[in-house]
Chain A
Amino acid sequence: MSDPVSWSGRRWLNHHLALLRLGDWLMVLLGLLLVVWLMQHFWLTAPADHVVVRQGGHVFCQSTLLTDRDIRVPGPLGVTQIQIRHHRVRVVSDPGPRQLCVREGWISRAGEAAICLPNQVSVEIIGLQRDYDSLSY
């Protein structure tokens, strides 16, 4: 960088690109692919529209995510409490022993689900178009 006038942008770029070896290019490319995949997976999926609550294989209720609501679903073990707040859903309490669906926390994206197996309750978010049916699958 002895002569700043001749140190043009193109030379600067070439100088730095020359630092990359084959494996470096490969890693940079793989990294870019990962970033693009993450972006389209988390940012370009269908927006969440409404939630379907099932009990014992039957649809217990369907609700939009646009309004806050509390849903109480009776099952064989007791009542599972579901909460809709700010376009997100969670299972607040469940009589099941392992609390897996409660620990799932807030879910907000199409295709996400919280399943309380012992009490036979499931909460699934459905987008405008359905990517895959995670429950029937």
Chain B
Amino acid sequence: MTVSVIDTTIQDHRIAKMAALAISLMWIEAALPSPLPGVKPGLANIVTLVVLRRQGLRAAVWVSLLRVAAGSMLLGRFLTPGFVLSLCGASASLLVLALLSWLPKRWLGSIGLSVPAAFAHIAVQLWLVSVWLMPGLGLWPLVPGFALFAWLGGIVNGMVAERLMREN
């Protein structure tokens, strides 16, 4: 029998640690009651925001996608419609983060990154629900409510990320 050894770097270990942290936040959040399906604070994104600033975009993409894949396996919804929604939401957020992280850090902190990313997240999910999951369902009257929660969640997560980075 040959033993295959995968060499892991310090960077891999950092990513794994941060992904584990994000997964635990996702897990805690899954236990919280939610007023509407889809309205969640998205606490795991705090980790993504911190990793983006500390270790760069590549690491943030890894942490976010690992969290979505492994987290949904733990919650027993891997490859379900809910998984597709979170994967697409996370990808949309990462895309917005990738574009905005080009802007100078002096002017734009984690809060300014988090708010547009939260909007992108919910916009893609609502779009997916209305064209793929439940077409013909009149979602439009709910859109302002989802947007309001995305705005609040984006601000709170951004502030927590910012505080974490300034205090340590």
Chain A residues with CB under 8 Å of chain B are 16, 19-28, 30-32, 34-35, 38-39, 41-43, 88, 90, 103, 105-106, 108-109
Do A35 and B144 form a contact, CB below 8 Å, given A19-B159, A24-B158? yes
Do A31 and B136 form a contact, CB below 8 Å, given A23-B103, A42-B143? no
Do A27 and B111 form a contact, CB below 8 Å, given A16-B159, A105-B136, A105-B138? yes
Q: Within the complex, which residue of B103, B143, B166 is in contact with A38, where a contact is CB–CB below 8 Å? A: B143
Q: For the complex, give the distance between the alpha carbons of A9 and B153 in Å.
A: 20
Main secondary structure, interface of B, reads: helix
Question: What residue of chain B has the Cβ atom nearest to residue A26's Cβ?
Answer: B112
Instruction: Provide the residues of chain A in CB contact with B112, threshold 8 Å.
Output: 20-21, 23-28
A-B contact count (CB 8 A): 80
Is B29 in the interface zone, CB < 8 Å from A? no
Q: Within the complex, which residue of A32, A43, A103 is in contact with B144, where a contact is CB–CB below 8 Å? A: A43
Interface pairs (9), CB distance under 8 Å: A16-B159, A20-B109, A23-B107, A28-B112, A31-B119, A35-B147, A42-B141, A103-B135, A105-B138
Q: For the complex, give the distance between the alpha carbons of A38 and B119 in Å.
A: 12
Q: A32 contacts B111, CB within 8 Å?
A: no
Q: For the complex, give the distance between the alpha carbons of A39 and B162 in Å.
A: 29
Question: What residue of chain A has the Cβ atom nearest to residue B114's Cβ?
Answer: A27
Main secondary structure, interface of A, reads: helix
Q: Which of B106-161 contact A (CB under 8 A)?
A: 106-113, 115-116, 119, 135-138, 140-141, 143-144, 147-148, 151, 154-155, 158-159
Is B163 in the interface zone, CB < 8 Å from A? yes
Do A28 and B115 form a contact, CB below 8 Å, given A38-B143, A103-B135, A106-B136? yes
Q: For the complex, give the distance between the alpha carbons of A43 and B162 in Å.
A: 34
Q: For the complex, give the distance between the alpha carbons of A97 and B106 in Å.
A: 56
Q: A27 contacts B138, CB within 8 Å?
A: no
Instruction: Provide the residues of chain B in CB contact with A25, threshold 8 Å.
Output: 112
Do A24 and B109 form a contact, CB below 8 Å, given A88-B138, A105-B136? yes
Question: What residue of chain B has the Cβ atom nearest to residue A34's Cβ?
Answer: B147
Q: Within the complex, which residue of A26, A32, A43, A88 is in contact with B151, where a contact is CB–CB below 8 Å? A: A32
| Given A27-B112, A35-B147, 17 new contacts (CB under 8 A) | A19-B163, A20-B111, A20-B112, A21-B106, A21-B109, A23-B109, A24-B109, A27-B116, A31-B115, A31-B154, A42-B144, A88-B138, A103-B136, A105-B135, A105-B136, A105-B138, A108-B138
Q: B107 contacts A21, CB within 8 Å?
A: yes
B135 to chain A, nearest CB (A): 6
B124 to chain A, nearest CB (A): 15
Instruction: Provide the residues of chain B in CB contact with A108, threshold 8 Å.
Output: 138
Q: For the complex, give the distance between the alpha carbons of A43 and B147 in Å.
A: 13
